[in-house]
Amino acid sequence: MDFLTYFVNGLSLGSIYAIIALGYTMVYGIAKMLNFAHGDVLMIGSYITFVFMSQMGINPIISVLLAAICCTFIGVIIERIAYKPLRGANSLAVLITAIGVSYFLQNIALLIFGANTKSFKSIVTIPPLKLFGGQLIISSESIVTITLCIVIMLALTTFINKTKMGQAMLAVSEDRSASTLMGINVNGTIAMTFAIGSFLAAFAGVLLCSAYPTLTPTTGAMPGIKAFVAAVIGGIGSIPGAFIGGLILGVLENLSKAYISAQLSDAIVFSVLIIMLLVKPSGILGKSNIEKV
Amino acid sequence: MALLDVKKMNVYYGMIHAVKDISFTVDEGDIVTLIGANGAGKTTILQTLTGIVPLKTGKVKYDGKDISHHLNHKLVYSGIAHVPEGRRIFAKLSVLQNLKLGAFTRNSKDEIDESLENVYKKFPILKERSKQLAGTLSGGEQQMLAVGRALMSKPKLLFLDEPSMGLSPIYVNTIFDIIEEVHKEGVSILLVEQNAKKVLSIASKAYVLETGKIVKEGNPKELLNDPVIKSSYLGE
């Protein structure tokens, strides 16, 4: 029963990684860049929720939605100011800029909210689920997180496959100039991708802080990097890959904390990345390019 | 009045002056061809017109409007479609998805379905393969998909960049038959080709390019008999 508890907690943590990883993987797929500031957008989203909910007393759900809207704008503004001027620049320049944006956001948070840890009140109010006569307790946060992750995955997949904007994203991810020739606004599509990723990051942040209720300016850094690892393991650029990678990583982290060593769990997670890169660099669902005839 | 009127176009790749003071026109109902060797600037001209490469100086008028500062994705909305060099189909998407993306600028589902039927009639093979990933098609089929995709936007003016490149002679004939068919349906065409003999036989006006400059222009039938053209481009 202990194992099941660890496993479910792992799925819950993994769902958060998966939601963050979606932002990484979509931006990578479409804009061909690693947005290392993604984790920090999540942190900003958590602070905004915290301010609305705990300091202004607004309803938790509305607070989260407001935070998600703010994050959407922040994501688009970051893209417009920091990344768009570098379109066509070499990828190292873009990467360094992304790291710069990451530090910028952390320090903005430090300046506004201070270095003190804020204790984040969980937004989830439903009761936990007790199974097997109380032997297996699934926390209410886990229920909400896992459910939301599945809903987001389904919604996003439908959006990509069924809408024109989604098809435009697929087209831009494959060939920017050919997309222009279809009449697709490439810059608009990239901005849209940042908007979706940042919108989701706000939810991930709130879920993360509901499960682990300490909020500091560096709250987003480690989960951000782990979500990046999840995206790479799943196959960067692939949406189902982000989902699978996130879940694997979350379960692995929790199980190694429980059975191997709490201190070593991060090391184990990152060694999985190294092994993955050695064995199958394109990730679980990553496709190598189709041979052109 | 010319449908497309290009005046003194200049394009640079960094320090390289790739297109030098090029002027040409495409009248409504024309098949205009730009011929020339590799590196003459033919592809660059088309890419500039559809906004892939920036225009340095010069004036482009389309349908009477100055569009020099609006060479971008919005041109597709005003009826210009471009079949690019190397086909540039979306290899990881299905044939049908590719065709639907061709109709990205249109909204009426009925009209899009009608165009789809029309494309399938021209290229029956695309209907057979509609579920297949475009990357698995043969070169000739990919070229047909590229042309079909461009037709899905219901263009008034079609740019074709080397539609016969790398194709077997049978496919070359099919493609040129289709080009003539599309032209008969009222689409004006600007065609870039190395297969000079073939294009000169269907074009209504031709321009010969050499290292970014137009060195000759005129009636294709006359150019076919021009001794210089014969020796340089027709291999005779």
How would DSSP label each residue in B132-160? Answer: SBGGGS-HHHHHHHHHHHHHTT--SEEEE
Amino acid identity, residue B113?
D
Instruction: Name the residue in chain A with its Cα closest to that of B137.
Output: A293
CB proximity list for A266: less than 8 A, separation 6 or greater:
A222, A253
The distance between the two most distant Cα atoms of chain B, rounded to a whole number of Å, is 52
Residue B75 belongs to what domain range? Answer: 2-233
Domains belonging to chain A, first-starting first, are 2-279 (1.10.3470)
Write out chain B residues lying below 8 Å of A185, CB-based: 73
The confidence score (pLDDT) of residue B236 equals: 65
The per-residue pLDDT for range B134-179, each reduced to its tens digit, is 999 998 899 999 999 999 999 999 999 999 888 888 888 888 999 9
How would DSSP label each residue in B33-94? Answer: EEEE-TTSSHHHHHHHHTTSS---EEEEEETTEE-TT--SGGGGGGTEEEE-TT----TTSB
Average the pLDDT over B223-236 and give the result.
78
The confidence score (pLDDT) of residue A131 equals: 78
The confidence score (pLDDT) of residue A293 equals: 37
pLDDT averaged per 10 residues in sequence order, chain A, 293 residues: 88 95 93 92 95 89 94 96 91 94 96 88 79 81 92 94 94 94 95 96 93 90 93 91 95 92 89 90 72 39
- Chain B residues near any Cβ of chain A (below 8 Å): 47, 50-52, 72-77, 81-82, 84, 88-93, 97, 100-102, 104-105, 133, 135-139, 142, 149-150, 153
The per-residue pLDDT for range A195-225, each reduced to its tens digit, is 999 999 999 999 999 888 889 999 999 999 9
The CATH number given to whatever domain includes residue B129 is: 3.40.50.300
Q: What is the pTM of this model?
A: 0.90
Q: Which of B75, B104, B135 sits opposite A292 (nearest CB)?
A: B135
Q: Which pairing describes strands B57-62 and B2-13: parallel, antiparallel, or unpaired? A: antiparallel
Q: When comparing pLDDT for B219 and B229, which is higher? A: B219
Write out chain A residues lying below 8 Å of B88, CB-based: 175, 177-178, 181
B28, pLDDT greater than 50: yes
Count up the domains in chain B and report the number.
1
B109, pLDDT greater than 80: yes
Q: How far, in whole angstroms, is CA A132 from its chain's centroid? A: 33
Q: Which of B90, B138, B142 sits opposite A171 (nearest CB)?
A: B90
The confidence score (pLDDT) of residue B228 equals: 79
User: pLDDT category, B225, cuts 50, 70, 90?
Assistant: confident
The confidence score (pLDDT) of residue B1 equals: 74
Complex ipTM over 0.95: no
Instruction: Name the residue in chain B with its Cα closest to that of A174.
Output: B90
The confidence score (pLDDT) of residue B20 equals: 93
Write out chain B residues lying below 8 Å of A181, CB-based: 50, 52, 73, 76, 81-82, 84, 88, 150
Instruction: Calculate the average pLDDT of chain B.
Output: 91
